[in-house]
Structure 1
C-alpha cells in the first residue's frame, strides 16, 4: 500500500518558555517555511498544537523540535492523511496552553499531576467497577465518543470542571479516580488539580485517547464511538476490537457520527444529523432554527 502523502501531528509539552510572544513569532515563521497548517498555542508554561503537512515537511518540523533543548522531550502522535486537515496556519501566544482558569491557584503539571497509566494499564483500570472515570473534555466531544462507563460532567467546557469537582467533592472523596482527554494535555492539568484538592488515588491515560487507539496490543478496546478532533476530520476511529456508534441523529434518532453545524448562523450549534434528514431539516438543529433559516433564505431570494 502506498504511503499517505501527508501527516497530522498532535503534540504538547509543558516546558518553561521565557518569551512566549518571541517564541510564537519564530515558530510561526518555521511553520510557514515548511508550509504547515494547523493550530498552535504557546505560553510561558509550554506549547500545544496540531499541524498537518507533507510527510517530508512534518519530518523536518519534528527534527527542528527535537533539536531545540526546550522541546527535545516532546512526543508526537502521527496520523497519515491524504491532504491538509486545516485551512490555514495559526500560532497564538496565550496565558495558558489549556484553559482551566485557576488564576492564582494555577500550577505546572511538571510539579503536580496524576499517575500515568499506559494503554494496557488503563484498559485494566477502567474495568474496575469501583473506579470513577471522568472525561476531561467538552460535552460535545463526549457525545461523539467516550470510554465505557465514563462520566460526562454536566458542564459545557474544560474550565468549568474545577467548580463542578468542588461542588461534588463528597461524591468522589475516597474513590479511585481515572481521567482522560484527547491527547493527554488536559488531564495532565486536571489530574494535578484533583491531587491538589486532596484526592489521593488519581490516574490519567498517558497520551490520551489518540495514543490508546494506536497501541498495537490494546487497539482502542472499550472506547465507544469516535474521538473528536479539532480539524476538518471532526472525528477519527479509535476502537479496532469492539467498536460501536453512540451518537444519534437529533431528528430521527438513528445512529450517525455526522457532526454538522446548524445552518441558522445565529445558532451554528454543532449537532448530529444523518444524510437522510439533512435535506428535510435544511441542516438545522431544530424546527425553530429551520424556520429562521427558511425566512432568511427566502428573503435573500426575494
Structure 2
C-alpha cells in the first residue's frame, strides 16, 4: 500500500484488488455498500468468490476509513491483508454513484485453470522493471485492451489488439509459444490482469513468467520520468480518463458517443465533434444520434443554469484539466520571462 502527497486535492482515489477466498461475497455485498454510502464514497467495487477489485473516491478521512475496514474490519477479517492498494488524488469527484457488484470473477478471463491463489508469475518491482524489459531474451506483452494501449505503453511491448481480456487466451494460442518464448514479461494498469494472465501462461507450460508489481500506475508513481520507458499516458476507468507520471491527471478525454479515449490528435481530427462523434466511431450513425440528443439536453440544461444528469462530474473534470493546463502554460511563460 502506498499514498501520494495530497497536493491540496480534495478527493482521494483508492484502487484495490486482491485474489482471496470470499465464498461469502453475496453476504458481504450489502454491508460493504452500506459502509461506503455512509461515508459518501463513490465508485465501483467488484466482489467475487475469488476476491475484490475496484476503484473508489471520497474524502481523505472516508477513504482511509474504508482501507482500514477492508484490511482488518469485522466483515473481511484478515482475508484482504496484503491487497494491492494504490492511492491518488483528484480535483473533482471522478464518479457519479457507489456500486458494489457481484460477479463470477474479479477480472473476467473465463479460464478456470488460471488461479492466482495457487500459481502466479514472478513479481517485478517497478525499480527493477527497466532492467528486465531491456533484455533481448524477454518477450514483453501488454495485457490491456487496444483502446488502452493506444494512449500509452512501454517501449518494445507487443500489443495483443484485444477488445476484451477474454480474447487474451486466443492471442496466447496464436502468437506465443512456450517452446520458443522462454521468458515472458507482462504488465497492465494496476497488476490484476497480469496476475491472472501469468497464472494462465504457467498453466500452458511457459517456463518463466514475470509481471510488473502494482502495474503501470505503481511504475508511474515510483520511477522518475527521466528514467521511464513508458511512452504516453495510462488509461484509467473514471472521469480522469488518463494519468501520467506522478499519477497526475492526463490530457485525454472520452468520446461521449463510443467511450473511446481521445488524444489531442483525435480531438484535432475533422471527424471529431465534441460530445457527438470521434475518429473511432465516425461511421456509427446510431451512436451519433444518441450522443447528439444527449449533447442537446446537456446544452439546454446549461442554458437553464442547471446540469444534465451525469454531466456534473464529466464537465467538472474537463474544466479542472483545462485549468491545470492553463496554469502550467502560465508558469512556463513566467519562467521564460524570468
TM-score by length of 1: 0.82
Q: Are 1:194 and 2:201 matched, yes or no?
A: yes
How big is each residue's C-alpha offset from its partner over 1:25-48, in whole Å with a ceiling of 9 and x where there is no partner?
111111111111111110011000
How big is each residue's C-alpha offset from its partner over 1:179-202, in whole Å with a ceiling of 9 and x where there is no partner?
000000110000111111111111
1:283 CA displacement: 3.0
Contact 1:282–1:290 under 8 Å retained in 2: no
Mapped partners of 1:110, 1:219: distance in 2:
36
Q: 1:231 aligns with which of 214, 238, 245?
A: 238
Mapped partners of 1:280, 1:72: distance in 2:
44
Specify the alignment match of 2:78 in structure 1: 69
Q: Any unmatched runs of 5+ in structure 2?
A: 1-5, 297-338
Specify the alignment match of 1:249 in structure 2: none
Specify the alignment match of 2:8 in structure 1: 3
Contact 2:190–2:218 under 8 Å retained in 1: yes
Specify the alignment match of 2:277 in structure 1: 283
Mapped partners of 1:110, 1:193: distance in 2:
12
Specify the alignment match of 1:154 in structure 2: 161
Q: Which moved more, 1:284-293 or 1:213-222?
A: 284-293
Contact 1:117–1:205 under 8 Å retained in 2: yes
Specify the alignment match of 1:265 in structure 2: none
Mapped partners of 2:170, 2:287: distance in 1:
36
Q: Counterpart of 2:101 in 1: which secondary structure?
A: strand
1:172 CA displacement: 7.0
TM-score by length of 2: 0.74
Q: Counterpart of 2:29 in 1: which secondary structure?
A: helix
Mapped partners of 1:18, 1:129: distance in 2:
43
How big is each residue's C-alpha offset from its partner over 1:3-35, in whole Å with a ceiling of 9 and x where there is no partner?
322111011011101211111111111111111
Specify the alignment match of 1:252 in structure 2: none
Mapped partners of 2:291, 2:20: distance in 1:
49
1:138 CA displacement: 1.0
Q: Counterpart of 2:177 in 1: which secondary structure?
A: helix
Q: Counterpart of 1:170 in 2: which secondary structure?
A: coil
Specify the alignment match of 2:267 in structure 1: 274
Q: 1:229 to 1:26 in 2, by over 3 A?
A: same
How big is each residue's C-alpha offset from its partner over 1:120-174, in whole Å with a ceiling of 9 and x where there is no partner?
1111111113321111111110011111111110322111111221223438733
Mapped partners of 2:291, 2:181: distance in 1:
55
Q: Any unmatched runs of 5+ in structure 1?
A: 246-255, 263-267
Q: Counterpart of 1:97 in 2: which secondary structure?
A: coil
Mapped partners of 1:156, 1:116: distance in 2:
26
Q: 2:53 aligns with which of 48, 64, 76?
A: 48
Number of residue pairs matched? 278
Q: Are 1:95 and 2:104 matched, yes or no?
A: yes
Q: Counterpart of 1:165 in 2: which secondary structure?
A: helix
Mapped partners of 2:181, 2:259: distance in 1:
38
Mapped partners of 2:278, 2:70: distance in 1:
43
Mapped partners of 2:220, 2:95: distance in 1:
22
Specify the alignment match of 1:260 in structure 2: 255
RMSD (Å), alpha carbons:
2.9
Mapped partners of 2:291, 2:58: distance in 1:
39
Q: Are 1:20 and 2:25 matched, yes or no?
A: yes
Q: 1:124 aligns with which of 124, 131, 144?
A: 131
Mapped partners of 1:98, 1:36: distance in 2:
22
How big is each residue's C-alpha offset from its partner over 1:39-96, in whole Å with a ceiling of 9 and x where there is no partner?
1110011000100000111111111112131222223201012231111111111110
